[in-house]
Amino acid sequence: MKILFVTSECAPFSKSGGLADVAFSLPPALLKEDNEIMIITPYYKCVKDRFSDQVQYVMNRNVRLGNADLYCGLLKGELSGVPVWFIDNEALFYRDKLYGYDDDKFRFAWFSKAVIDVLENLDFIPEILHCNDWETALSVIYLKDDQARRPDYRNIRTVYTIHNIAYQGQFGANELTDTFALDPGWYDGGLGYVYQGRHDVNLMKGAMLMADAVSTVSPTYARELHTHEFGKGLEGVCDMIESKMYGILNGIDPAHYDPGKDPRIPCNFTAEDKSGKEVCKEYIQETFGLKKEKRWPLFAVVARLVEQKGIELIREILPRMMKKGIQLVIFGQGEKKYVDYFNYCRHLYPGQFGFSDQYTEEMAAKVFAGADFYLMPSAFEPCGLSQMMAMRYGTVPIVHETGGLKDTVRPYSDFDGIGDGFSFDSYQGKALMLAIDAAVKIYFGEHDVFEVIKDRCMKKDFSWTKSATTYMKMYSDICGHGSDPNVTFKDAYEALEVIYTDLEETRNAYLAQQPDDYLNVCQVRIEGPGEGTFYLKFTKDGMEMAPYSYEGADISIAASFDNLYNMAIGTVSADRLFVNGQMKVEGNISKGAEMRYLIGKGTEH
C-alpha cells in the first residue's frame, strides 16, 4: 500500500512534542509491513542548521494560496529507510521555533496546500494520505477540493489522527476565505464552529468530518473524547463519526530506547544485570546536585511544565514528599511560574530536589535510566510516550489513570502480585500522594517485589508491531480492501486471541464483581473471510479460548472477522453491531450482553 505521512514535525529533524516521536517510529514500522511509505514535513531552521548535509535539493516550484504565490523548495532525506520530503520556504519556516507565531495559521495552511500541489512532483500518488493534528488538517480539505478536478487523485483515501484534541486550529470565520482561500460554502460544509457566541472555523472539526477515517492515539482516549470533560467542545463530532473512529495505541522504537546499548546513558544495563542502573542513578544525583544516597528512592519528572502535565499536583504535595526523604528531579521547559518555583525549591531542599529547564534528548535518556520512579500525573494524556521510555530503563511509573497512561501501565496489586507500576484514579494531590506512598512501601519493604516490577517494565512490549497491524487494518477498511479474502481461520483466530488477551485487565475487573460460581460460555462463528468456529469460556478466574465448537454454550454469536476485531479494539460497540444486524445473537441474551465487557472495549461497565 502507498502511504504519504503528513506531519508538522518529525524526529530527529524537528521536535516539539510526541507527534515527532510518532513520525520517527510509525512510518518505519509500516515500511516493515511491506508498504511503500513516505513522510512529508516542513524544512525548518533546525533541520537546515543540523541536517543539511543529509538532505538533497530536488527541485522548486511555486505554490499559490489565495493571493500569495510563494517559492516552494522540495528536498529529500531519509529516516530508517523511509524517504522524507521537506517543503522549503525560508520566510515561513526558517525561524527559531516550530510554532508560536502570529502567522501560524497561514504558515501551516500554505504547507498543507503545498503537500497536495507537490504530489505530482513526487512521482508518488498515495492510496492513503495520513494527516496529523490541526497543522495538517487542511491537507484533507484541499485534497477534497482537488479531487473534484483531478481524476488521478480521486482514489486517495484520507486518515486524520488526533494527537491532542485541545489544539484544534480554531480561527475567526473570515479566515476561511482571507487566509485559507476556501469557498465560503465550506463554512456550512464542515468547518463552521460556533464558540462562546462567536462564529469561527475549526480545522480539526473539518478534517474529522471529511476524512475517511479518524484515529487517536490510545483506545481509552478514543472513548474519553465522547465526553464533555475530554472532548473540548468536539464530543458531539466524535459521536457523529464513531463508526469511522479508531483508538490505536502509540508505540516507541525499542532499539532506540535500549538500556543495554544506548550510548547516551552513563552505563549500560539489562534486565538480567541491572548494576549499571546504580551508576546511572549516581550520575543523576551528581548532575542535579543531590546527595549520593544509594538507598533513597529517586523520583523523576521529564515533561513540559504546564498544568496539563499535573504540575500543580506536584507543587501541592512537594513538601510532603521532601519530608519523607524522597529525592526528586524535575527536568523540562515550560511556563515561567513553574520554572521560578522549581528553581526556588532547589535552594529550599538542597541535596534532595533537583531541577533544570535546559532540556535535551540526551539528558532525558540519562534521567530515565537513573531514576527509580517516574511521575506522570497528567490531568489528561492522549497517549503519553515518556512513561513507556522510562519503563524501558527499568524506572517504575506512577501515573494518573487517564488516556494512554491507563492503557500502558497496569497498577501493582498486593492481592495477586500482578502489575508494572502504580496509579491513582481521582485527580487530586491526596490520591497522587497515596500512590507514591504505596510505591515507597514496596521500594523499602519488599525489595524482591520491586525488582520483579522493574523486570516487567523493562520487558514490556511497547514496539509498534501490534499498532502497525491495526493501522494496516484501518487503511484496508477505508480502501475497500477489508479482510484479506484469503485469510484463514487460523490467521483470524490467532489475531483475535492476541487482542482478547490484551483486554485481560478490563475483563478481570468485570469478572471480579461476579459470584464465585460465575460461568458464561460463548460460541463464536466467524462469517466470511476466516470462516470458522471457536468458543470462549469465562469464569471468575479468567478466560479460556479454544478453536472448537462448544455444545451447550450459553450464547452463540456470529459476525465477520472485521467486526469482531473492531469490537475488541473499541472502534465499534457491540450494541451498534447488534442493532445494525452485523452481529447475530442466539441464546441467553443477558449473557450475550456481557460480551461488551468481556471481549469488547466500546462500552464502559
Q: Point out which residues pair with 555 in neighbouring strands.
A: 522, 587
What are the domain boundaries of the chain?
2-168+205-247, 275-459, 486-598
Residue 320 burial (10 A CB sphere; 0-12, 13-18, 19+): middle
**Angle at CA of residue 328, ends 327 and 334, nearest 5°:** 165
pLDDT in tens, 61-92: 999 999 999 999 999 999 999 999 999 999 99
Task: Please give the CATH topology (third level) of the domain spanning 275-459.
Answer: Rossmann fold (3.40.50)
Q: How confident is the model at residue 578 (pLDDT cuts 50, 70, 90)?
A: confident
Prediction pTM value: 0.79
- Measured CA to CA, the distance from residue 99 to residue 20 in angstroms comes to 13
H/E stretch holding 87: strand 82-88
Output the nine-digit C-alpha cell for 531.
470462516
- Measured CA to CA, the distance from residue 43 to residue 62 in angstroms comes to 15
pLDDT in tens, 205-229: 999 999 999 999 999 999 999 999 9
Quick one: which of 257, 258, 296 has its CA closest to 278? 296
215 and 241 in contact (C-beta within 8 Å)?
no
Place of cell 483506545: 219
Task: Please give the CATH topology (third level) of the domain spanning 486-598.
Answer: Nonspecific Lipid-transfer Protein; Chain A (3.30.1050)
- pLDDT of 581 reads 61
Residues 6+ apart with CB under 8 A from 118: 40, 61, 63, 72, 74, 85, 87
- pLDDT of 482 reads 55
95 and 101 in contact (C-beta within 8 Å)?
yes
Q: Is the pLDDT confidence value at 306 over 90? A: yes
- Measured CA to CA, the distance from residue 53 to residue 550 in angstroms comes to 64
Higher pLDDT, 581 or 3: 3
Which architecture characterizes domain 2-168+205-247 according to CATH?
3-Layer(aba) Sandwich (3.40)
Q: How confident is the model at residue 585 (pLDDT cuts 50, 70, 90)?
A: confident
pLDDT in tens, 328-357: 999 999 999 999 999 999 999 999 999 999
Helix, strand, coil content of the chain in percent (nearest 5): 40, 20, 35
Q: Within a 10 A sphere around the Cβ of 231, how many other Cβ atoms? A: 16
Quick one: which of 250, 218, 223 has its CA closest to 385? 250
Give the sheet arrangement for strand 555-560, strand by strand: 542-546, 532-539, 519-527, 555-560, 583-587
Is there a common fold for 2-168+205-247 and 275-459?
yes
Quick one: which of 403, 578, 481 has its CA closest to 35? 481
Chain mean pLDDT for the chain: 93
User: For 47-60, what is the mean pLDDT?
Assistant: 97
114 and 72 in contact (C-beta within 8 Å)?
yes
207 and 215 in contact (C-beta within 8 Å)?
no
Task: Tell me the residue length of the chain.
Answer: 605
Compute the radius of gyration of the chain from its Cα atoms. Answer: 25
Long-range contacts of 530-537 (CB under 8 A, 24+ apart): 530/483, 530/487, 530/488, 530/489, 530/491, 530/492, 530/493, 530/561, 531/489, 532/489, 532/492, 532/493, 534/493, 534/496, 536/500, 536/598, 536/599
166 and 232 in contact (C-beta within 8 Å)?
yes
Q: Is the pLDDT confidence value at 405 over 50? A: yes
Three-state secondary-structure class, residue 83: strand
User: For 287-297, what is the mean pLDDT?
Assistant: 95
Place of cell 527559531: 96
- pLDDT of 604 reads 40
